[in-house]
Amino acid sequence: MNLMDWHRRIERHTGLLVFGIIAVTSVGGLVQIVPSLFQTSLSTPVAGLEPYPPLALEGRDIYIRESCSVCHSQQVRPLLAEVMRYGATSKAGEFVYDRPFLWGSKRTGPDLHRIGGKYSDAWHRLHFMDPRAVVPSSIMPAYRWLAERDADTGGSIQNRMRALQLLGHPYTDRDIYFAPQRLAGKSELDALIAYLQMLGVSRPEGG
């Protein structure tokens, strides 16, 4: 049977066609994705990287809920201008405890991967309550309600930590047991700031 006949046959059998499409499109994944599952440099945390403590984890979820990624990326690319402005290039091993990672692709505002320690908590508080109080030309929205909402959402933090523990995040049972206490009396704003202050602070050696 020659090629054109094959073509005819595939074209006329939906099942075959679907199978063919899957077979062909999977090649890209087999080349790009499958080997990276075995690439240890992608799954080994850089020295000093800690899983997010409860308050920061809560803050991360608030970051996701408020869609901060719509305006902020979290990846310093290996380009001179970015390194000079934001700091060391982001490394894969820094995102091991980010599920999912929040690299983003849109930069209406600055990159946030090296934001940890750049400002004081007091500055962040001012900035989230009213960005224009500190940066008059800012177009970032204010997030006042975060200050009024409780970070403790009734124990769900423990479920989330347990899920991450299953995926290999080194939380101890003790960490999980005491998690609600770590959130007690904190606002969502405190949680978000705790998260931001952790971002990108454990830089790899020489990076």
Query: Could you tell me the smallest distance in angstroms from the CB atom of residue 38 to ligand HEC?
Result: 34
Calpha distance 174→156 (Å, rounded): 16
Residue 187: beta bridge partners? 150
Name which of 174, 181, 171 is nearest 55 in CA terms.
181
Query: What φ, ψ does residue 187 adopt, rounded to 5°?
Result: -95, 170
> Do the beta carbons of residue 96 and residue 45 sit within 8 Å?
yes
Site membership for ligand HEC, residue 115 (CB under 6 A):
yes
Name which of 67, 87, 89 is nearest 78 in CA terms.
89
Which one of another protein, ligand HEC, none interacts with residue 43, CB within 5 to 8 A by kind?
A: none
Query: What φ, ψ does residue 157 adopt, rounded to 5°?
Result: -60, -35
By three-state DSSP, how is residue 88 classified? coil
> Do the beta carbons of residue 108 and residue 154 sit within 8 Å?
no
Residues 123-162 that bind ligand HEC (CB under 6 A): 123, 131, 135, 138-141, 143
Question: Which residue number places its CB atom closest to ligand HEC?
Answer: 109
Among 71, 83, 142, 147, contact with another protein (rule: CB under 8 A): 83
Candidate segments 4-12, 32-40, 117-125, 147-155, binder of ligand HEC by CB under 6 A: 117-125
Query: Could you tell me the smallest distance in angstroms from the CB atom of residue 161 to another protein?
Result: 30
Which one of another protein, ligand HEC, none interacts with residue 133, CB within 5 to 8 A by kind?
A: another protein
Residues that bind ligand HEC (CB under 6 A): 63, 66, 68, 70-72, 108-110, 112, 115, 118-120, 123, 131, 135, 138-141, 143, 192, 196
